[in-house]
């Protein structure tokens, strides 16, 4: 409960900030495009710190690093609330992202050390509830705070939570003996790896976040950033495999369980983040829902996730976790395929059911993966395992959102071209509809020319809307097939042995 508190604070803050962005822009005199740097700066900082978190935990001590992350996040939240200009906000959001990036991996390593292999499923289930409940209530809470007070309070509410987290962590959390011994054995610092992570991951996150907005490689800035990122990441891969004490121990990927779990984490990030972006876009842009109503439509999905987390924890203890993961992938694929039935004019209740069915299988994937992640890995590498796993899921989400946004944009163009090919005088249905609309406009006093123009404009808008619906349907088909392919792959992983399952954690 202690380590889950800070995660709840960090995830809640991320979703609240998205809702309040227009209000921040108005207060600071920033354009909508400029204000998105409030989000981008946070994501870049988080992405850079995530892969370093395991190494930093080993170097300065996991408890110290965790408390430092909470303190940085809390103090920078306070400063964000006091920010009076966009540059100030961006600087403080970078600091906030640096603190937030160290929380998730460290918490998971603490849980893995505190609980035996048999108990980890339920421990990660309790942790996972905070991860999924926070985004579910974030938009609604953010909207209420912004409407009734002002956007500054979405940052100020982190301060008491952060202080409580620090007090509890200081009393409850302790570094295990093996970690204290490990700090005495530190070898030369991987400064090159650290620099390459900052450059490679930072530039890649910028490309993923701004690529669609700048039309990808047609922008010289995006092309240069992508080139720098690729070179830096290749150099990072070579350096980390050669260094005796790397920032990211990529040699861990030789472990079959961990390598498979990393792949699943990447896909899980793509599907969860991608689908979470898709549905709000559809209901707000195509169905005309307000942000609050869109949040209400998605919130039951968050509740379903929270309910399923402990269920998944119990199942992963009683049954082969590989079977549970396969069932989770099958349920998620079925839910994504079910959403392809989406249409213009869909009612609120059906939309809610689509969202619930889409996410209900995800805990069956998340919890067993979190458990199997650590099978066969030395305990002194638990920090590295958590850091790499969280980094992979984070980058999967960033890449998934970018690819899906690009796919949707291209699909809208393709579907519109296909639909407009039928809007001609050779199509009797089109002619009948056009004449009917023109007659309606003429009947309320418009001239024949005006009636024809208005009817064509209305039909064009309907074509655009139908093209968007078809694009979303195809996007969910792609996500569904991507998950379906993974159904048999969990059996590549090894089950925990009886010894591993019964081993008590030496947390102190």
Residues 267-317: pLDDT tens digits? 888 887 777 667 777 787 778 777 667 767 777 887 888 888 889 988 888
Q: In this structure, which topology does domain 1-186 adopt according to CATH? A: Growth Hormone; Chain: A; (1.20.1250)
Q: At the topology level of CATH, where does 251-494 sit?
A: Growth Hormone; Chain: A; (1.20.1250)
* pTM, entire model: 0.81
Q: Using an 8 Å Cβ cutoff, are 10 and 73 in contact?
A: yes
Give the model confidence (pLDDT) of 437-476 as tens digits: 888 888 888 888 888 888 888 888 888 889 989 998 999 9
What's the whole-number mean pLDDT along residues 144-170? 88
Q: What does the domain layout of the chain look like in residue ranges?
A: 1-186, 189-244, 251-494
**Residue 410 burial (CB count, 10 A):** 11
Q: Kindly give, in sequence order, each residue whose CB lies less than 8 Å from that of residue 235, ignoring residues fewer than 6 positions away.
A: 196, 200
User: What would the DSSP string read from start to end of 92-127?
Assistant: HHHHHHHHHHTHHHHHHHHHHHHS-TTTHHHHHHHH
Q: What is the pLDDT of residues 45-103, one digit of tens each?
A: 888 898 999 888 888 888 999 999 999 999 999 999 999 888 999 999 999 999 999 99
Residue 184, CB-side half-sphere exposure with 13 Å CA sphere: 4
Same-fold call for 1-186 versus 251-494? yes
Convert 318-330 to b/e letters by CB count within 10 Å (16 or more is b): eeebbbbbbbbbb
- pLDDT, one tens digit per residue, over 205-257 is 889 888 877 878 888 999 999 999 999 999 999 999 998 888 889 999 988 88
Residue matched to tokens 């650590």: 374
Mean per-residue pLDDT over the chain, rounded: 84
CA neighbours closer than 13 Å in the CB half-sphere of residue 145: 21
Tokens 């790499």, residue?
388
Q: What is the DSSP string of 41-107?
A: HHHHHHHHHHHHHHHHHHHH-HHHHHHHHHHHHHHHHHHHHH--SHHHHHHHHHHHHHHHHTHHHHH
């Amino acid at each position: 409960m202690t380590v889950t508190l800070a995660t709840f604070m960090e995830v809640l803050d991320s979703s609240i900030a998205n809702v309040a962005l227009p209000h921040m822009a108005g207060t600071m005199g920033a354009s909508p495009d400029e204000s998105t740097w409030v989000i981008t700066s946070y994501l870049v900082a988080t992405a850079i710190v995530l892969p370093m978190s395991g190494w930093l935990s080993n170097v300065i001590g996991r408890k110290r690093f965790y408390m430092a992350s909470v303190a940085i996040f809390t103090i920078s939240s306070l400063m964000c609330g006091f920010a009076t200009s966009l540059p100030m906000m961006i600087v403080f959001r970078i600091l906030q992202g640096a603190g937030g990036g160290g929380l998730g991996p460290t918490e998971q390593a603490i849980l893995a050390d505190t609980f035996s292999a048999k108990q980890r499923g339920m421990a990660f289930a309790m942790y996972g509830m905070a991860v999924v409940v926070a985004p579910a209530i974030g938009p609604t809470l953010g909207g209420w705070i912004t409407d009734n007070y002002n956007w500054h309070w979405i940052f100020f509410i982190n301060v008491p939570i952060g202080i409580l987290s620090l007090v509890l962590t200081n009393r409850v959390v302790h570094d295990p003996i093996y970690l204290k011994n490990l700090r005495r054995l530190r070898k030369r610092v991987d400064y090159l790896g650290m620099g390459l992570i900052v450059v490679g991951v930072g530039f890649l996150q910028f490309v993923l976040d701004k690529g669609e907005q700048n039309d990808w490689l047609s922008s010289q800035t995006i092309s240069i950033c992508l080139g720098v990122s690729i070179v830096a990441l290749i150099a990072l891969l070579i350096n980390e495999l050669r260094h005796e004490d790397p920032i990211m121990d990529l040699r861990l990927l030789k472990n079959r369980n961990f390598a498979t779990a990393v792949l699943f984490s990447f896909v899980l990030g793509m599907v969860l983040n991608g689908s979470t972006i898709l549905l709000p876009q559809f209901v707000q842009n195509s169905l005309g829902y307000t942000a609050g109503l869109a949040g209400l439509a998605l919130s039951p999905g968050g509740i379903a996730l929270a309910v399923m987390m402990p269920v998944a924890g119990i199942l992963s203890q009683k049954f082969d976790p590989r079977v549970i993961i396969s069932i989770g992938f099958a349920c998620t694929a079925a839910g994504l395929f079910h959403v392809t039935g989406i249409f213009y004019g869909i009612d609120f209740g059906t939309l809610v059911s689509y969202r619930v069915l889409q996410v209900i299988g995800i805990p069956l994937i998340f919890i067993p993966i979190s458990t199997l992640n650590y099978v066969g890995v030395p305990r002194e590498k638990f920090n590295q395992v958590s850091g790499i796993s969280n980094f992979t899921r984070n980058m999967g989400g960033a890449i998934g959102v970018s690819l899906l946004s690009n796919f949707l944009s291209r699909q809208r163009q393709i579907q519109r071209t296909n639909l407009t090919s039928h809007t001609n005088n050779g199509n009797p249905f089109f002619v009948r509809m056009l004449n009917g609309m023109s007659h309606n406009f003429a009947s309320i006093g418009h001239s024949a020319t005006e009636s024809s123009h208005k009817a064509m404009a209305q039909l064009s808008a309907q074509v655009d809307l139908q093209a968007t619906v078809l694009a979303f349907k195809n996007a969910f088909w792609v996500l569904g097939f991507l998950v379906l392919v993974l159904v048999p792959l969990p059996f590549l992983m090894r089950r925990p042995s009886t010894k591993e399952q019964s081993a008590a954690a030496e947390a102190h």
